[in-house]
Amino acid sequence: MKILHWFREDLRLADNPALYEASQGNELIALFVIPQNIGGASKWWLHNSLQSLSNDLSKSGVQLILRQGDPISVVPELAQEAGIDLLTWNRVYSPQGVLQGSAIKEALNGSGIKVESFNSQLLIEPTKVLNKQGKAFRVFTPFWKHCLAMLEPPLPLTVPSLKGTSFQLESARLETLGLIPSQPNWAQSFDALWQPGEQGAIEAWRKFSEGGINQYAQGRDFPGECNTSLLSPHLTWGEIGPNQLWYYTQELMAGNQLANENGEKFLSEIGWREFSRYLLVHFPQIEKSSFNPLFDDFVWQNKESNLIAWQKGQTGYPIVDAGMRELWQTGYMHNRVRMITASFLTKHLLCNWRSGMAWFWDTLVDADIANNTASWQWVAGCGADASPYFRIFNPILQGEKFDGDGQYTKRWVPELTMLPNKYLHKPWEASETILKTAGVELGTNYPKPLVDHKLARELALSRYHEMKLNHQ
């Protein structure tokens, strides 16, 4: 039996249900179709992840075929060309991913080629989780409680033994696809920070499971400490799956090697990832428009120069600037700081959450449609289970609370290294003498604050009330 496995967001060999099924045949063809609409940082990641997958496959004599174009035509064409008996893939839950799946199934209907799809990237299929009224959950906590009660993840599947084919198929060359930047090569420093691919994902889990997870419940909020998993980009491309993480974490807790408090907190973060995909399946419109339609009437300011200052990490609020610079230099930002910077853009600068989402989409190595839309809408106050709009983060207090010693802020905003911690998150309150001693000249080598916190907060609140009034 000749089988084609179409790799999508499942770039791994272990615990890969569709690949496992495909390995039952005696001739395997592996395909990946290069997506056209992903951000710059994601492209860098994908390039390296494909390289890794391709290496792993070739050890079993399987060549990874790369093709460009719309999968809706590319996949059926290749299926016919190769004369396969069965096509397998793991489902993708974005509107585009769902559409691709159904269109390809339809295209091959009646062709004699069987099609089977599997779940590799969620603990539970979204359509199987409904409340008592038979409707989709809109709030995380009841959703996750419901999931926990019904969860029985299977043992992770082992790496299957694969048998390639001698059938010759044309493949694009990875090096010529332009996925990695050349001039300028802004990703130069990424190589030392990240190890895309399945081995890198396993290594990231190992490091986390021996370190940060043991302080996860409290420690995850402090961006200067290394307590988060850094697994997000690996999860985005399915180099590791939630099923594996669930199983590994439960094993640690069962063996008393991990406090329940920490393990459960980590799994609930996996739950948030699950929830954002779930929302996108049940409410696909949130990819483009507000979950809460009230916000269609919100009057944004959308001042271009403010957006640019935010992107560059030049807002004059140190914790915000630190986050935006971490993002630019590493393709990643600590979760606490993502909330602070996103709140600042939407509330202090009154820029539409879509403009922030677009920036994150282009710069994050873990860019993911579901997480990106759900999280931005959550922060902006228009999303499911959103923080109410009037919950406005105070960037000074957040900085003092979560980076009181300045470890994080000073790393990314080195021009403030000499500033005493008392003023680190509000340098404009320091005296001339203190600033001078620290070598800080506001407006020259570090910006003055773009907006006044108190005024900006009041303006945002009044815009919010106007929106509600206009809607009545």
Q: Which residues are annotated as catalytic?
A: 269, 272, 300, 335, 353, 376
Binding of residue 453 to DNA (CB under 7 A): yes
For DNA, the closer of residues 2 and 457 by Cβ is 457
Element (H, E) at 88: strand 86-90
Task: Choose one: 46-54, 301-309, 387-395, 411-419; the region binding DNA (CB under 7 A).
Answer: 387-395
Contacts of 91 (CB under 8 A, 6+ apart): 97, 98, 101, 117, 118, 119, 120, 121
- Euclidean distance between CA atoms 284 and 273, whole angstroms: 16
Binding of residue 225 to DNA (CB under 7 A): no
Residues in contact with DNA, shown as a per-residue x/- string from 197 to 216 under the rule CB under 7 A:
--------------------
Q: Which of 55, 203, 260, 390 binds DNA (CB under 7 A)?
A: 390
Binding of residue 397 to DNA (CB under 7 A): yes
Q: Which of 394, 424, 438, 449 binds DNA (CB under 7 A)?
A: 394
- Euclidean distance between CA atoms 287 and 378, whole angstroms: 13
In degrees, rounded to 5, the angle at the alpha carbon of residue 296 between the alpha carbons of residues 343 and 291 is 70
Binding of residue 60 to DNA (CB under 7 A): no
Element (H, E) at 115: strand 114-118
Binding of residue 461 to DNA (CB under 7 A): yes
Say whether 118 sits in a helix, a strand or coil. Answer: strand
For DNA, the closer of residues 411 and 453 by Cβ is 453
Shortest distance, CB of residue 339 to DNA, whole angstroms? 5
Binding of residue 276 to DNA (CB under 7 A): no
Residue 81, Cα to own-chain centre: how many angstroms?
A: 35
Long-range pairs for 155-159: beta carbons < 8 A, 24 or more residues apart? 155/247, 156/14, 156/15, 156/241, 156/243, 156/244, 156/247, 157/14, 157/15, 157/16, 157/17, 157/20, 158/14, 159/13, 159/14
For DNA, the closer of residues 391 and 448 by Cβ is 391
Binding of residue 339 to DNA (CB under 7 A): yes
Task: Choose one: 18-26, 109-117, 224-232, 454-462; the region binding DNA (CB under 7 A).
Answer: 454-462
Region 130-159 residues binding DNA, contact defined as CB under 7 A: 140
Shortest distance, CB of residue 231 to DNA, whole angstroms? 15
Residues within the interface to DNA (CB under 7 A): 140, 269, 272, 335-336, 339, 387-388, 390-394, 397-398, 401, 453-454, 457, 461
